[in-house]
Structure formats: C-alpha cells, structure tokens
C-alpha cells in the first residue's frame, strides 16, 4: 500500500547520480519525497516541517561518501536525524525509590492502557523480579475493573479490587496503602481513558497524579494515531509531568509516525512497544529501529536479536553437524525448522522485519501464514520415522495415508515435499559453497 521511502527515493534520485555534493537544488525533490513518506507514516505536519528543515540544513553542502550514492547519503542523513530525534538509547523505568514505586497509566480511550498495564506487570515480574500490585481507577467503562482483575490473575500479579461507586483517587490511595503493608515493590495504577479536551476528566487525572505521586507517569498511545497525536500528546503533557510513552498496537502495519510526533512534542522518551494481544507482547523500545520502520527500511536489528533469542542453537548445531558429516537434511530437520520459524512469530513476522519486504504484496505474505507451517508440521508428523529419513520411498499409497492422517490432501503432501526438496538443495549449497552462495539462491526466489 505505501511505497517505502527507499523505493520512493530511488525514483527521484535517479537523476542525482554522480554528483559529489548535496545541494539545495538536487535534494529538493528528494526531500519532498521524504516529506510524503513521513506524512504517510502519520507523522504530524508541524513535526514533519521541523524535521525537513533540520535535514535540509544538515544535508546541504555535505560531501557524498565514496561508498554511497547521493540518494543513500540522504537516506543516511534522514535516518540519523530521525534516530537523534527519537532519542539515542533505550530508556528504562526509574524504579529506584522506596517501595512501593507507583506507575500511573494515562491516555485516550481505546489506546490500550489496561492491556499494557498487565503486560507491564508481567514484564516487571519476569525481567525485574518485582512483586507487582495492579489497581484499576477506571470506574466509568463497564467491566473495566473486571478486565484488569482477569488480566492480573493471568499474569500472576496481585490485584487490588475497587468498586465503581468509589472515587478513583480513593481506590488508588487504598491500593498503595495495601501495597505498603503487603510489601509490593510496584503499584501500577490503570486510569480511565479520557479525551484531552474533557476538562473535568483531565482534572480528575491531575488529582489522581497528585494523590499517588507516581515515579513513572506513562502516556499510552496507539501507534495508528494520526495527526491528532499533536493535540492529545501536548494536552496530556501539559496536564501531567509525563515520564515516558508506551506505543501500543505496533504489531500491525502502521508505520508508527505518532511515536515521532509524541516524542517531538513532549520530549519524553518512548519506553515500550506493545506488539501483540498476549500479556508477554511488550518490548523495550529501540529508537533506531522505529526510525527505520517509519522510513520503511525494516527492523534488521530486531530480527537478529529475536533470532538469537528464539532459535534453538543446539538443534541448529545438530543440523550443521549432520550436514558436515555428509548426511542429508531430512524431513525431521525440516520440521525443526518449521517449528523454529513459528516460535519467532511466523514467516509473516520475519518478513515484516526484513528490509525491502515492505514491497512484498500482502497476498504473498498471507500465503505464508502460520497456519501453513502448522499444517506442514502435521503432515510430517503423520509420516513414519523411516519416511522422514528417506522421503524417496513415499509412493501414492503412503501419501494418501499421510494425507488422511494429517487432515490434508495429497496435493498438500506433494507441495510440502517440493518445498522440502528446495530446502534440501539450499542446504547442500550451503554446506558446499557457504553462506554467500545460499543468499544468492535465496534472492532469486524472493519476489522483491
């Protein structure tokens, strides 16, 4: 749907080749493309203006580095500026106070405060070994308190019950008192969603903030927010001394330009990224990566890190050892690979993180969804160990049995075998010619 910035620039910058210096003239069109890309990523207009001015000032007169084309030089400048604007490093929560440390969540309706509160509780428990008490000060939305109670039970955090006929401030204060006697390290106060123009409700959250004296006041913002991010962020920042921002629903295909707007307007660091519906789906925020995402360049670092975390190194080493010994890559190994791909969030999630993959049509991505890897695994599971070792013995009758056993069609079995053969060939190339050769083979196969 959206052209990546790199793609856009490639077109504009064709006539810019061979120039040794970036000038006001030769980057004018390119900067216009950058502007469109930022606008399409939902970066707020005033922020775009400031930013473009900044880039222009820096880029003009720059020598083009020998290894780069002028276009790449400009992209490099843009990315550096974006990263600088987003903050240089990933910021942690400041919880070094006498317990209980209070965290207050604030934001518009439907931003994802309650879900994020639960995710944060889980993160604090698992990564920081804190004991967490959750409390909901949302007496307005039906069943909001119940929602947090269920989520708290799911994450193993403690929950302080309030009721809708109480004052939000009283509920929060009682929860903190309770946390003190029960020695909880952190209290997370979830607040009701409110519009930044609703004076009565903004007053209420000011009172709430005053009463609970949080060490962290986190503004929760939907990564799909449009130009309005300017107004809401500015209003919340004016009403409350925010200490950070959490960007939610970042697992979709939104570019998350709102992150840039909010950061620019409030000067507060984005601390976390919500990336899914489960309570584990919270990631520390890395400014450089979101910069790439806004520009449509892919999150390569994130991919590498995730791969390191999730790949079962032992299994990979086993495969490597097997290949070295000259034994073939068999269907059992193929199944291990499928499982690992799934544990990393599926093929789609992998592709989203690769540079240039922005151009892969949605339809292609959809074809490679998790459902397929699961089905393929089922097919392999329905084979006997011998068949997995020697797929050559699979005849029509065996295939029919496997298809029936895994609830698939014979065509599906054939398709799987074909994919397996391709993979096998690639593995062979890898063991013979190394990585470079394999990458070349891989490149030809991707519809970029």
Partner 1 sequence: MLSFKKPPPSGNTGLTGLARLKQGLARARSGLGAAFAGLFRASAVDETLLEEIETLLLGADAGVEVTQTVLHSLRTRLALGELPDGAALNAALRAELLAMLAPSAQPLRIPSHIRPFVILVVGVNGAGKTTTIGKLAKQLQQSGHSVLLAAGDTFRAAAMEQLQNWGARNNVPVIGQPQGADSASVIYDALQAARARGADVLIADTSGRLHTQSNLMEELKKIKRVVSKLDPAAPHEVMLIVDGTQGQNALAQAVQFHQALSLTGVTLTKLDGTAKGGIVFAIAKKLGVPLRYIGIGEGVDDLREFDAAQFVEALFGE
Residues engaged in binding partner 1 (CB under 8 A): 1-2, 36, 39-42, 44-45, 108-112, 140-144, 146-151, 154, 195-198, 200-201, 222, 224-228, 231-232, 249, 251-255, 257-258, 277, 348, 362, 366, 369-371
Long-range contacts of 87-91 (CB under 8 A, 24+ apart): 87/263, 87/269, 87/270, 87/287, 88/287, 89/287, 90/271, 90/284, 90/285, 90/286, 90/287, 91/244, 91/269, 91/271, 91/285
Tell me whether residue 68 or residue 195 sits nearer to partner 1 (CB atom).
195
Judged by CB, which is closer to partner 1: 348, or 391? 348
SS3 126: helix
Nearest residue (CB) to partner 1, 69 versus 352: 352
Nearest to 8 by CA among 71, 52, 73, 66: 71
**What's the CA gap between 9 and 71, in Å, rounded?**
7
Q: 189: which strand partners?
A: 104, 135
CA pair distance 213, 104, nearest whole angstrom: 9
CB of 415 to partner 1, least distance (A): 18
- Provide, rounded to whole angstroms, the least separation between the CB of residue 223 and partner 1: 8
Query: What is d(CA 51, CA 29) in angstroms, rounded to the nearest whole number?
Result: 16
Choice between 10 and 235, CB closer to partner 1: 235
Angle at CA 17, nearest 5°, toward 292 and 47?
Answer: 35
Smallest gap from Cβ 238 to partner 1, in A, equals: 14
Strand 186-191, strand 282-284: pairing: unpaired
- CA–CA dist 2, 36 (Å, integer): 10
Q: Output the smallest distance, CB 151 to partner 1, in A.
A: 5
Q: Quickly count: other Cβ atoms within 10 Å of residue 290's Cβ.
A: 27
Q: At closest approach, how far in Å is the CB of 77 from partner 1?
A: 22
The token pair that represents 390 in the structure block:
């020697």
Give the nearest distance from C-beta 373 to partner 1 in angstroms: 12
Q: Nearer Cβ to partner 1, position 97 or 364?
A: 364
Which residue's entry shows tokens 């307007």? 265
Nearer to partner 1, 100 or 256 (CB): 256
Nearer to partner 1, 187 or 233 (CB): 233
Minimum distance, C-beta of residue 36 to partner 1, in the bound complex (Å): 5
What is the closest distance, in whole angstroms, from the C-beta atom of residue 334 to partner 1 in the complex?
Answer: 22
Nearer to partner 1, 112 or 391 (CB): 112
């Amino acid at each position: 749907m959206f052209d990546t910035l790199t793609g856009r620039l490639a077109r504009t910058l064709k006539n810019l080749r061979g120039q040794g210096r970036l000038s006001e003239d030769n980057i004018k069109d390119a900067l216009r493309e950058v502007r469109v890309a930022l606008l399409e990523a939902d970066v707020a207009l005033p922020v775009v203006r400031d930013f473009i001015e900044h880039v222009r000032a820096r880029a003009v007169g720059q020598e083009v580095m020998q290894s780069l084309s002028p276009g790449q030089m400009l992209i490099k400048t843009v990315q550096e500026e974006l990263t600088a604007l987003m903050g240089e490093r990933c910021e942690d929560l400041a919880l070094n106070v006498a317990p209980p440390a209070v965290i207050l969540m604030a934001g518009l309706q439907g931003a994802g405060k309650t879900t994020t509160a639960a995710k944060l509780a889980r993160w604090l428990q698992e990564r920081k070994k804190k004991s967490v008490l959750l409390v909901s000060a949302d007496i307005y939305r039906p069943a909001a308190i119940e929602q947090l109670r269920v989520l708290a039970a799911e994450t193993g955090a403690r929950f302080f019950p309030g009721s809708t006929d109480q004052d939000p401030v009283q509920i929060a204060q009682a929860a903190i008192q309770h946390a003190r006697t029960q020695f909880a390290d952190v209290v997370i106060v979830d607040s009701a969603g409110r519009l930044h123009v609703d004076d009565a409700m903004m007053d209420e959250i000011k009172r709430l903030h005053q009463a609970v004296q949080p060490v962290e006041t986190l503004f929760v913002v939907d990564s799909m927010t449009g130009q309005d991010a300017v107004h809401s962020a500015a209003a919340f920042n004016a009403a409350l001394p925010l200490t950070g921002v959490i960007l939610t629903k970042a697992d979709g295909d939104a570019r998350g330009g709102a992150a840039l707007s909010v950061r620019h307007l409030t000067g507060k660091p984005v601390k976390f990224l919500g990336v899914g519906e489960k309570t584990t789906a919270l990631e520390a925020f890395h400014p450089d990566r979101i910069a790439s995402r806004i520009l449509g360049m892919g999150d390569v670092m994130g991919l590498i890190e995730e791969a390191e975390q999730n790949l079962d190194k032992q299994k990979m080493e086993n495969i490597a050892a097997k290949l070295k010994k000259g034994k073939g890559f068999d269907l059992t190994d193929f199944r291990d690979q499928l499982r690992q791909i799934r544990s990393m969030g599926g093929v789609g999630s992998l592709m989203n993180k690769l540079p240039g993959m922005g151009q892969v049509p949605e339809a292609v991505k959809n074809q490679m969804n998790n459902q397929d890897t699961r089905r393929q695994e089922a097919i392999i599971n329905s084979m006997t160990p011998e068949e997995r070792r020697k797929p050559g013995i699979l005849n029509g009758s065996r295939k029919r049995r496997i298809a029936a056993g895994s609830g698939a069609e014979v065509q599906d079995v054939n398709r799987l075998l074909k994919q397996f053969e391709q993979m096998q060939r690639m593995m062979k190339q890898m063991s013979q010619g190394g990585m470079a050769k394999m990458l070349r083979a891989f490149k030809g196969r991707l519809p970029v």
